[in-house]
Structure formats: structure tokens, C-alpha cells
Structure 1
Amino acid sequence: MTITPAELAGYAEIVFDVAVPIRADDRVLINAEIEHAPLARTLVEAAYARGARYADIWYFDPHAKRSRIRHADVATLAEVPAWLDARNEELARHHGVLVNIRGFASPDLLADQDPVRSALDRMPNLSSRQRLQLNNLVRWTMVPYATPEWARAVFGEPDEARLWEHLRSILRLDQPDPRAAWQERLDELLRRAEVLNELRLDRVRFEGPGTDLTIGLLPEAHWTAARLTSVQGQGFQANLPTEEVFTTPDYRRVEGRIRATRPLALVGTVIRDMELTFTGGVVTDVRATTGADVVRTHQATDAGAARLGELALVDGTSPVGRSGVTYLETLLDENATCHLAWGAGLPPGVPAHLRERDAAGLDEAGVNSSGVHVDFMVGGPDVTVTGIRHDGTVIELLRGEEWQV
């Protein structure tokens, strides 16, 4: 069966009691597609019940985006209306709450459009929203919602009920106490991050079919999980679900080739069989059976878009990975297996002694800066991840998707 109103209400409680706890007088922004309306409305009800001052829903229609890509002057495709940025800036001023509902109604909607034009229009991924999230200016989270067309893209038929069955487990909504289950998992991830911190690694190497990539880490590399703290000192969970431990690498020290192990849905196109070659920290070659031009155009957004900003490790206990399904939704797929991200470095993964530096100082230290951040999946049972200390000692981290430390 699809999700019931009672289950939706329980889901909203997890969002606002675990992921982004609401305070009295909070402003709450919810970004959604039209098909996400049942959850968006339930979240509004839950927000006001918890004392929110105002809860606002913005519905994005990908079909309108398709029309823009088909007909608009190419010189206008990268433009973003100022009023959309103003909405995010106002939320930042009040240190409010941001919920992004994920689960594209049509993941491959733009597959028949010109890939370069498609990549120029990055809506609804606004740079102003990325700034809020990267700098934790608000409490923010991303949560999934099943739709028939998303189910069709995943299963070949619009079996929304089947997709919800997977999401119940992934979101731990089927647990007797989902709140306690999430707290237990977050504690596990933070303990794992501490183990990695204690190893004091200098670099990490990925090896597998089509893959041999070495990624340098920042001095005193900091590993953490998606339990973050806002600029006002309030804890929140950035993604629901989350199964990763991550760090921000030194963008200058990336060498070799990496093969994506899952398709990537990017700006309305599904990128399949992607391979990236890094030389001196920059992507110098992009290959894919579909969507290579979309990746190239996206990575040409700015100087940092073709460099790495995140390194994340996920083991085989993840319910997302254990489901055996590729969801064509990065929120889920990045929590199925190890992943990297091109674009902006993540401030929570930056060592404490570097966090007070200005943009120039961070760049000098090797923290990437960009207006984009795109996760792509690189792990799997055939990929081995090793850590290398400053003295050259090699430590196996993951083999067969099982922790070795």
C-alpha cells in the first residue's frame, strides 16, 4: 500500500523532532515538486502545531524547466530570479528551518533535450540555498517522498506502493521507535568517524574495476557524520536517511581515474557509466555512455566545479545499499555506498584549525570553493578503500563493503 495519512503524520514528526527540531516562532521553508504535496502539507501542519511563525511551500515544476530549456534564449538559461534568492536570504536572516523534499517526479525528463542547454539551467538548485546549507546558516534537511513516476524510473512501472515499502525501511519508519533508531545509527556513525580521525590519514585510495584514484586529505583531516550544528548552536540531521561518514579532501591532491558504480540523476538527465580522470586535482577527462556533455557543462560552472569537495564512506550495513535498488535519487543512492562529490567543500569536514579562515585562506589550505556540489557513487563490493598515513603506512578501511578498522 502507499503511505497513509497516519504514516505521513508520523514521518513529519520524525522530520521535525529528529532531523530539524522546530522552535517557537521559527520560519519554515519547504521546497517540493507538485507531486510531493501530501507530505509538504503534512509538514506545514506539523510545523504550525510546534509553534512555527510561518511555513511556506515552494512547488517547483520540472515540466516548466523543460519548456525553458526547449525555447528560452541560451544566454538566459543560467539566470536565477532574484526573488527566489531573496526567499533564502530572508530565511538565513531569521536562522529558520529548511526542508527539501526529494524524489523527482520524472528523473529522465530532459533526456531528449540538448545536454548543454540542460546543464546551463541548474534550477531548482539555487546557489543561495547551497550557501545556507554549506554554512549551516539554518537548520536544514533533505527527505524523500515516493511518486508514481519515480517508481516507474526505478522499477519500470509506476508501483508507488513498492517504492514506499523500501522507504519505510530506509527511513526506519517501520521500527518500534524511529527516533531511538535514528539516534542509535547517528551515534554509530559518529563513533566510526572518530576511529577514522584517530588514524590520522594523509590520503585515501580507491581501487576496483576501472578505478585507481588517490585523494589527498587536509592536514589533521576531520571525519564526521551528518549530525551537524547550526551557526546558532542547534543540532540537526542534514539528510534523512544518512549512512555516511565524510571528510573534506585537499582538492589539489587528487590523481587517477574513478568509475561511477551507480547512475547519477543530474539536472533532468541520467548519467550512466561515468568515468572521470583527475590530473593535479582537476577533472581532465569525462566519459559516459549517456550524459557526458551534461557533466562537462556542469563542471564548467566555475573553477571549483571540476574539483573534489567531499569524500564519503558507507559500509554494507546501510539499508539503502542492502535493498539492492538504484533509486536514481542522490539522497538515497549516496547513502547506499561510498561516494565523492565535485564542487564545494563541506565546512563540517574541514579541520577545526582551518574553519576561521577567509575564502582565500581556505583555498590556500586546499578547501574547494564552488557554486555547485554533486555527489556521485563510487563504492561497491568490488571496490577496496585504503588509507595511507604520512609515513606511508597502508591501512585497509573497506573491503567487500565491510569495515576493516
Structure 2
Amino acid sequence: MTVPAAELSRYADVVLDVAAPITAGDLVLINAEIEHAPLARALTEAAYARGARYVDIWYFDPYAKLSRVRHADGGTLGEVPAWLDARNEELARQCGVLLNLRGAAAPDLLAGQDQVRAGLDRMPHLISRQRLQLENLVRWVIVPCPTAEWARAIFGEPDVTRLWECLRPILRLDHPDPVAAWKQRIAELLDRAATLTSLRLDAVRFQGPGTDLTVGLLPGAHWTAARLESVQGHAFQANLPTEEVFTTPDHRRVEGTVRSTRPLSLDGSVIRDLELTFAGGVVTEVRATSGADVVRTHQATDPGAARLGELALVDGSSPVGQSGVTYLETLLDENATCHLAWGAGLPPGVPAHLRDLAPAERAAAGINVSAVHVDFMVGGPDVTVTGITHDGVTVELLRDDAWQI
């Protein structure tokens, strides 16, 4: 079965009314996989109805990626054609709207392939698109789209109806007024972020089974939520759903070991039982029961790829976590529980006095600079999160998945 067209239309309205409001004359790009076509079409209809000038849908086929990993010259696996970057650069010039659809048709498609080769080919990731998003050169959002094969990966059968029934409350489409429900939730997250900022923390410590990690924060640490503003002043919501509050840590001050609490789906490979050890801010050891070489190759991209760029906290009230499902999709799994990210630091999480620095100055100030950004899940009811102030006072932030502040 498929999701009813009327429900997809209602979903598209929420995306364009809450996450990425369209204004007359906007250029809109939609990045999707082939199986996402029904939602891509609903979003296109809704965008044109709101006055979009042009809507361009780009479909990625992960099976073409599989063929590339199997057969292409290894020296070419990190390359992408310039015309894909040109598309993003034009969108930046227009300060347009970027809609990214998620829900891989085959999350573990590259299982059994050479892990190093799989790690080299990171399509459909594009550095030019990451720049659009990190620098908020456009209004952008990432949203999930249910597919039969995604449902099969989660449930063992291609039950799209079951997956959609999980997603409806997560997306607040079960509310009489989803737009109002999202506005309320976003306000709650921003209030929580303001509370964390007011604590003036110097570091955050994660403790749980296999985990004892201390992450230093930037001076004047700033916490926020995924409610952002484009360079032209357009407000937008970067992720839908969103349940996190986050900050950009000091990439130089990370010590200890952390064990991921959920599998990580990374560009066609599922990384299971990931453990990372940090010393002096750098990953010094990678362990996993599957996909360790994919992570090692990914973290060898550049000097910042093996350092942290994000620290995000999520409590147990999250509808994603309450669903009890591991989605094998970072957009959802990162909003189920606390997470960290290796790679680029997030500008919205940087204190105001550090935001205008040049890239070299950012790295020297502790803001990570990298061509990659990968979130992995580290929280849950067995993980306690504690804040540490500059004078060494500890403040318990999360215990048993509940806020303590």
C-alpha cells in the first residue's frame, strides 16, 4: 500500500508552512530518491500553488551508487560532476529553497562491498550543498518520506502503511492543527536552549555503558534549536521532525570513549555497535561490529573529519524515541536521543563573537572545519549527561532520559 495522496498533500502543506515557507518567485530544488516521487510531486504542487518560479526535482538512484562502488576506478570514487555543484551555486545566488527528502530505499545496500571503497563514494552528499546549509545561504529542510524498502529494512516487510502510522505522530500530523503544534514545540526547544546557555557551561560529560566522554565547549557556549534564518532574513526550520537542542563544541577538548546507542546508516552502509575513542580532540580508535572501515575512511577526508562539530541533547519525551523504532535514518534517529557529530561545526551553535571568523581563524578558535558532518546517536535511558561549569561545579542535565533542569 502507499500513503494516500490527500495525506501527502497535507504533509506538503506542513513542510512549506512550517519548515521552508515559499514566497512568490522562489526557485525550489528538491533532492530525492526515485522511491520518494509521490512526496516530491506533492511538494512541487504545493510550491507552485504558493508562487514558486521553478521547482526542480533531482532523483538519486542508490543502485547506481552500488554499481559505482563495485566497478569504478578507485581514484574517481571521491569525485562528483561539476554540474551538480552548479545547481547548488545557482540556488545560493537566488537564496532559494532546498527540500531534502530522506528515507533510504535500501539503507544497507552496500553491505558486503569493499568498505574503503564505500567510504570514498559519499554521494549523494555534495560539499556544495553542505555549504548552502551550514552557511544558511538558502532556506533548507530535511524531511522523511516512507518507502516500501525502508519499511522492509525496519520491520522485515515492505509495510508502508505501518511506517506511515509511525511517522504521523512524529510529524504531528495527528494533531488537528499540525502547524500550531510545531510552532509550540519549536518555542519549547528554543526556551530549553536559552536555559542551557544561561548555565554558562564549560563542558558536557556523557556516562553510560561503554561511554565516558567529556566534551569541552566554546567560551560563552551558545545553545539553540533547528529554527534558523537565511542570509536574507527568511526564518526556516532545518529539520522536520526536530526534537533537539544543540551547541557547537570546542573540537580541541574532547577526551574519552563513546559508544553509539543506535546503528548509523551512512551513505548505503549501516554501522553497528560503533565506539570511538578521543584524545586531544581527535578520534584515535574506531571500533564497530560492521562498517568500521567505512567510518575510518570517512574520518580521513580532511583534518576536521575526525573531530567533533556538534553536541545535541534530546530527552525521552521525543515522539521519535517514544515510537520504540530504530529507523536507520539519521534524520529520525538523531531526534530520538542525544547525539554527537564528527565533522564541520554548526554556525548557529557558535557564540556570536566567533561567528564572523575566517575558516582558518575558526579552527584556531576551536570551531571545527570539515567537508563532512555526520551525526551518530549516543544517548538513552542508560546514559547520564552532566554539565560542568568553569569553576568545576557539576549540573546534571539528563538522567533516565528526563531533563533535570
Q: State if a TM-score over 0.5 links the two structures.
A: yes
Give the partner amino acid of 2:350. Answer: V
Give the partner amino acid of 2:294. Answer: V
SS at match of 1:325: coil
Give the partner amino acid of 2:118. Answer: S
Alignment of 1:149-228 (within 5 A): 149-228=149-228
Question: CA separation in 2, counterparts of 1:117 and 1:351?
Answer: 38
Residue of structure 2 equivalent to 1:381:
381
Give the partner amino acid of 1:239. Answer: N
TM-score (norm 1): 0.99
Residue of structure 1 equivalent to 2:334:
334
Give the partner amino acid of 1:332. Answer: L
Question: CA separation in 1, counterparts of 2:167 and 2:267?
Answer: 23
**1:245-266 CA distances to partner (integer Å, 9 max, x unpaired)?**
0000000000000000000001
Residue of structure 2 equivalent to 1:12:
12
Residue of structure 2 equivalent to 1:233:
233
SS at match of 1:310: strand
Question: CA separation in 1, counterparts of 2:360 and 2:5?
Answer: 50
Residue of structure 2 equivalent to 1:293:
293
Shift, 1:198, TM fit:
0.5
Instruction: Name stretches of at least 5 consecutive residues in structure 1 with no aligned partner.
Output: none
Residue of structure 1 equivalent to 2:55:
55
Shift, 1:359, TM fit:
1.0
Moved over 4 A (4+): none
Question: CA separation in 1, counterparts of 2:88 and 2:15?
Answer: 20
- Is 1:105 equivalent to 2:82 in the alignment? no
Question: CA separation in 1, counterparts of 2:207 and 2:351?
Answer: 26
Give the partner amino acid of 2:261. Answer: T
SS at match of 1:181: helix
Shift, 1:223, TM fit:
0.1
Contact persistence 2:222–2:349 (CA under 8 A): yes
Question: CA separation in 1, counterparts of 2:159 and 2:357?
Answer: 49
Shift, 1:364, TM fit:
1.3
Give the partner amino acid of 1:67. Answer: S
SS at match of 2:315: coil
Contact persistence 2:275–2:286 (CA under 8 A): yes
Question: CA separation in 2, counterparts of 1:262 and 1:102?
Answer: 18
Shift, 1:357, TM fit:
1.1
Contact persistence 2:70–2:113 (CA under 8 A): yes
Question: CA separation in 2, counterparts of 1:232 and 1:364?
Answer: 28
Shift, 1:363, TM fit:
1.1
Give the partner amino acid of 1:398. Answer: L
Contact persistence 2:221–2:350 (CA under 8 A): yes
**1:178-226 CA distances to partner (integer Å, 9 max, x unpaired)?**
0000000000000000000010000000000000000000000000000
SS at match of 2:224: coil
Residue of structure 2 equivalent to 1:361:
361
Number of residues of Structure 1 aligned to a counterpart in Structure 2? 405
RMSD (CA atoms): 0.6
Residue of structure 2 equivalent to 1:116:
116
Residue of structure 2 equivalent to 1:96:
96
Shift, 1:326, TM fit:
0.3
Give the partner amino acid of 1:192. Answer: R
Shift, 1:66, TM fit:
0.4
Shift, 1:112, TM fit:
1.4
Give the partner amino acid of 1:256. Answer: G
Structure 1 range deviating more: 360-369 or 333-342 = 360-369
Shift, 1:70, TM fit:
0.5
Give the partner amino acid of 1:266. Answer: L
Question: CA separation in 2, counterparts of 1:219 and 1:360?
Answer: 18
Question: CA separation in 2, counterparts of 1:144 and 1:303?
Answer: 31
TM-score (norm 2): 0.99
**1:350-404 CA distances to partner (integer Å, 9 max, x unpaired)?**
0001111111221111000000000000000000000000000000000001000
Alignment of 1:251-262 (within 5 A): 251-262=251-262
Residue of structure 2 equivalent to 1:349:
349
Residue of structure 2 equivalent to 1:372:
372
Shift, 1:3, TM fit:
2.0
Question: CA separation in 2, counterparts of 1:82 and 1:123?
Answer: 13
**1:29-84 CA distances to partner (integer Å, 9 max, x unpaired)?**
00000000000011111111111110000000000000011110000000010000
Shift, 1:2, TM fit:
4.0
Alignment of 1:29-40 (within 5 A): 29-40=29-40
Give the partner amino acid of 2:110. Answer: L
Give the partner amino acid of 2:340. Answer: L
Residue of structure 1 equivalent to 2:393:
393
% of aligned pairs identical?
Answer: 77
Instruction: Name stretches of at least 5 consecutive residues in structure 2 with no aligned partner.
Output: none
Residue of structure 2 equivalent to 1:323:
323
Shift, 1:156, TM fit:
1.0
Question: CA separation in 2, counterparts of 1:195 and 1:49?
Answer: 40
Contact persistence 2:115–2:294 (CA under 8 A): yes
Question: CA separation in 2, counterparts of 1:257 and 1:336?
Answer: 21
Question: CA separation in 2, counterparts of 1:120 and 1:182?
Answer: 38
SS at match of 2:223: coil
Give the partner amino acid of 2:199. Answer: L
Alignment of 1:39-78 (within 5 A): 39-78=39-78
Question: CA separation in 2, counterparts of 1:73 and 1:362?
Answer: 35
Contact persistence 2:3–2:160 (CA under 8 A): no
Shift, 1:298, TM fit:
0.4
Give the partner amino acid of 1:348. Answer: P
SS at match of 2:36: helix
